[in-house]
């Protein structure tokens, strides 16, 4: 295969990937896999280091700072909270544990708290 043919096939593959991801075929498989990992993590069956390692193996670094990952993590956290609340009347310890797990997850994948308001004089 000569150089021009290789470049053409590379562009065709890139275009196909772009098309598939724009209609959600590629992205939905990724989000399902990440969602399963997050569910296992919030159930307490997977340590944060293993979650981070497995998640980084299937998703790019940019994915973890994007809105899709944040919404998946928030959804998994909320689902785990709802399940714990349904099982127990007094679940304060369980809720604290889930909040700790969420914090550990954010540190593991390097998500900063973008929406935290900075306390500066003169800002309202």
Q: In 3D, which of 72, 78, 85 has the Cα closest to residue 34?
A: 72
Q: What is the pLDDT of residue 62?
A: 84
The tokens describing 42, both together, are 């919030």
73 contacts: CB under 8 Å, gap ≥ 6: 38, 102, 105, 106, 111
DSSP state of 1: -
What is the overall mean pLDDT for the chain?
Answer: 78
> Is 88 among the domain residues?
yes
Domain that holds residue 66: 23-109
Maximum Cα interatomic distance, the chain, rounded to a whole number of Å: 69
- Domain contains 124: no
Q: What is the pLDDT of residues 7-62, one digit of tens each?
A: 767 666 666 666 555 555 556 888 899 999 999 999 999 999 999 999 999 998 88
Asked if residue 83 belongs to a domain, the reply is yes
Question: In the chain, how many domains are there?
Answer: 1
Which residue, among 17, 110, 102, has the nearest Cα to 66 in the 3D structure?
110
Residue 5 lies in a domain: no
On whether the CB atoms of residues 63 and 30 are closer than 8 A, the answer is: yes
The two tokens of residue 13 are 């593959």
- Is residue 73 in some structural domain? yes
Task: Flag whether 95 is in a domain.
Answer: yes
* Residue 102 is assigned to a structural domain of this protein: yes
């Amino acid at each position: 295969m000569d150089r021009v043919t290789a470049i053409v096939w590379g562009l065709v593959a890139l275009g196909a990937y772009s098309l598939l991801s724009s209609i959600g075929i590629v992205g939905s498989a990724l989000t399902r896999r990440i969602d399963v990992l997050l569910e296992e993590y919030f159930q307490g069956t997977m340590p944060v280091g293993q979650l981070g390692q497995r998640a980084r193996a299937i998703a790019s670094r940019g994915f973890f700072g994007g809105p899709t990952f944040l919404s998946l993590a928030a959804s998994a956290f909320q689902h785990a909270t709802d399940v714990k609340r349904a099982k127990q009347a007094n679940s304060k310890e369980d809720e604290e544990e889930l909040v700790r797990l969420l914090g550990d997850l954010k540190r593991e994948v390097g998500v900063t708290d973008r929406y935290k308001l900075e306390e500066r004089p003169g800002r309202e």
